[in-house]
Chains A and B, each alone.
Chain A
Amino acid sequence: MSKIEKEFKKMKKQKILIVDDSEMNRELLIDILEEQYDVMEAENGVQAVEILAKDETDFWFLLLDIMMPEMDGFDVLNYINKHYWNDRVVVMMISSDDSPENINRAYSLGAFDYISRPFDPIIVRKRIANTLFLYARQHDLENMVREQFYEQQKNNNLMISILSHIVEFRNGESGMHIQHVKTITELLLKRLVQITDRYSLSEVDISLISVASALHDIGKISIPEEILNKPGGLTKEEFEMMKTHTVIGSKMLSDLPVEQFDSPIVHVAYDICRWHHERYDGKGYPDGRKGEEIPIAAQVVALADVYDALTSERCYKKAFSHEEAVRMISEGKCGVFNPILLQCLNEISNTLKSLYTNTGWGPEIEKVSCRKDKAEDTTLFHEREQNKPSGQPGYMQLLYVDSLTSVYNRRYYKEFIQGSSDMEAIALIDVDNLKQINDDYGQEAGDLVLQRTAQTLLSLIRRNDHLIRYGGDEFLIVFSNMTKHTFETRLEEIRQSFEGLIVDGRPELHISVNIGGVYGTGKQGELFHIVDTMLEHSRSTKKQVTICFLDENEDVQGLFKKKEM
């Protein structure tokens, strides 16, 4: 069976909505269609759009009468257009009259076809089946093209990202610089086309420039590592050497065989590599181009590059806050930029700021990235992603990982998490009967219980969450970006998963945990105090998760709404 046929088969139980104010007419159509289709009816336009609005992903075939009370057929067509439902709603008009104006008007509003009264069942069925078949085929073709396009795009992006990471790794920059520049470039460009049409940039152009932005520093591959990674200032000669990365990068691209250099992305990348250190006042390098002589792609990437460099820690500088960075750029302390781009930067400032704080794209994280222990530091980054810090032991490993349970230790929490401003969902968990177990079965059994507890908790958190052995029998989980509801359910799941849990080879050991949680924003110290109180409460109630939800309007000191499960 071909793909098209499969699609068609799937669509056979197609939903059809009959919209007609006459019950008899609807029933006649239902009689004609119900064997083959899933038929629903509406007696006017209002009911029809209500049904269509229920699920914005459903594909509907509409048989639509024109003259109806409340909302007529034309109104329904207008509504469909207004809500951009055209690609999921196919409309066939029911035309009772021989009035061509009405039919024409319906066509111009997007109706696909019409059937006229009196209904001939054979013709009605055939018309509908043909229309659906046509749609299925078109849909299938569109998907094929889209898949091919994405596949190609994915490969391109992958190759570019590999290439640029090689350069980045040598630069000793944090792993995210390329990604950040790409994101900022895209945001700036999208804003730019909203403000002006001076640069006539299409969506495709924006996507090309964003992807090509990853290559801006490829020329650095030829700069000696001692210069690249030299802390503090460079000598004049060294700086001259550094500057050549622009020309070298662009030459690497223009040396490509003609047919490759002719591809739009290579052209754009050439512009970016060569001119991303030019200044709008003509005092940049390598060519001293001025104003609009600098291609817009290079102008935008230059700004994105500077913003990200400022807000990240580098071996030669500390990280600035988002506000400081924007201020320094606006005041011309980090180069001279096109005023309209500065306007864009200011206008996307809130978005940037939230990216900067919410995704951990801030200095708290970058702080780890100190050049001198690059290898270990990448391991740590990698492990943060994986959540479980294992792998080759380095001194980072020894410093930040609890040796018994292999989860993060308190030091890690203090140094990398405690300072985050976006903490909002934390849970504190303790093993209820650890002392008893130690007393009854010995320390070794207690250790087993702690290890099993850590494993179980790890299996229940997501990649971006953090599990920390806070001390003794206490574990801390810091959840990132979690809804209230999920938080509640997750904690309950955690509690339940300890019920009936058996420690391998030691069936006599039963683990039971107490869980306290806090949800809301507040100062870290306060949050910790609250979660501790909640845990206390959980201890006294047994078999309950106790959560405190901080109400934004209330004083953090007063203990808000206490939620018990």
Chain B
Amino acid sequence: MNLKDCYSTVGGDFDEVMGRLRKEQLVTKFLYKFLDDKNFHLFEDSMSNKDYDEALRAVHTLKGICQNLAFTGLYVTSSQITNALKEKDYNRAMDMSPQLFKAYHQVIHGIKEYKNTMDTSTTDGEIR
């Protein structure tokens, strides 16, 4: 699996991100960092605690990251929830949460798979 495959698995725009960041290495670095990003979990926890301000900040930040990494699918959903929360339409935000969950895990799954291939390929191909 190469980076381009990874982007199609996660529902992202490979050409857009490469057009901006230009180096696969840089994109990969930030894809891996995304695995550790806490904003999605913060959003989930805040929603269940009905702390909508915190939830808004988290999903808003998530949206920004998606923009930078060109995760188109996850961007669209996080953007919709951000708007819902800004308009204080908490039910709509709640209703869309499963969709966000799905999109988020699709991205995580895709990145992990890509990471696996890369890890294997480097151990196989490189002589240390």
**Binary per-residue interface labels of chain B (50-70) against chain A in the complex, 1 for a CB within 8 Å, 0 otherwise:** 000010110011011101111
B residues sitting closer than 8 Å to A (CB atoms) are 16, 20-22, 26, 29-30, 33-34, 37, 39, 54, 56-57, 60-61, 63-65, 67-70
Q: Which residue of B lies closest to A119 (CB)?
A: B68
Q: Whole-angstrom distance from the CB of A116 to the nearest CB of chain B?
A: 9
Query: Which residues from A are CB-within-8-Å of B26?
Result: 31
Q: For the complex, give the distance between the alpha carbons of A223 and B54 in Å.
A: 83
Q: Which residue of B lies closest to A99 (CB)?
A: B86
> Is the CB of A96 closer than 8 A to any CB of chain B?
yes
Q: By the criterion CB–CB under 8 Å, are B68 and A24 in contact?
A: yes
Q: By the criterion CB–CB under 8 Å, are A22 and B20 in contact?
A: no
Q: By the criterion CB–CB under 8 Å, are B61 and A120 in contact?
A: no
Q: Which residue in B20, B29, B60 is a CB contact (below 8 Å) of A118?
A: B20
> Is the CB of A21 closer than 8 A to any CB of chain B?
yes
> Is the CB of A28 closer than 8 A to any CB of chain B?
yes
> Is the CB of A117 closer than 8 A to any CB of chain B?
yes
- Count of A-B residue pairs with CB < 8 Å: 50
Complex A-B, nearest 4 residue pairs according to Cβ-Cβ distance, in ascending order = A117-B67, A118-B67, A22-B61, A96-B64
A residues sitting closer than 8 Å to B (CB atoms) are 21-25, 27-28, 31, 67-69, 96, 117-121
Q: Which residue of B lies closest to A72 (CB)?
A: B57
Q: By the criterion CB–CB under 8 Å, are B63 and A24 in contact?
A: no
Q: By the criterion CB–CB under 8 Å, are A24 and B37 in contact?
A: yes
Q: By the criterion CB–CB under 8 Å, are A96 and B57 in contact?
A: no
Query: Which residues from A are CB-within-8-Å of B30?
Result: 24, 27-28
Q: For the complex, give the distance between the alpha carbons of A118 and B61 in Å.
A: 12
Query: Which residues from B are CB-within-8-Å of A22?
Result: 37, 39, 61, 64-65
Query: Which residues from B are CB-within-8-Å of A27?
Result: 30, 33
Q: Which residue in B21, B39, B54 is a CB contact (below 8 Å) of A121?
A: B21
Q: By the criterion CB–CB under 8 Å, are A25 and B64 in contact?
A: yes
Q: By the criterion CB–CB under 8 Å, are A120 and B39 in contact?
A: no
Query: Which residues from A are CB-within-8-Å of B68?
Result: 24-25, 28, 117-119
Query: Which residues from A are CB-within-8-Å of B60?
Result: 67, 96
Q: Whole-angstrom distance from the CB of A102 to the nearest CB of chain B?
A: 11
Query: Which residues from A are CB-within-8-Å of B67?
Result: 96, 117-118
Q: For the complex, give the distance between the alpha carbons of A27 and B37 in Å.
A: 12
Q: For the complex, give the distance between the alpha carbons of A31 and B33 in Å.
A: 13
Q: By the criterion CB–CB under 8 Å, are A23 and B57 in contact?
A: no
Knowing A27-B33, A118-B20, A119-B20, the reply to whether A96 touches B63 (Cβ < 8 A) is: yes
Q: For the complex, give the distance between the alpha carbons of A27 and B68 in Å.
A: 11
Query: Which residues from A are CB-within-8-Å of B33?
Result: 24, 27
Given contacts A25-B61, A69-B54, 12 further A-B pairs with CB under 8 A are A22-B64, A24-B30, A25-B64, A27-B33, A28-B68, A31-B26, A68-B57, A96-B64, A117-B64, A117-B68, A120-B20, A121-B21
Q: For the complex, give the distance between the alpha carbons of A118 and B34 in Å.
A: 15
Query: Which residues from B are CB-within-8-Å of A68?
Result: 57
Query: Which residues from B are CB-within-8-Å of A21?
Result: 57, 61
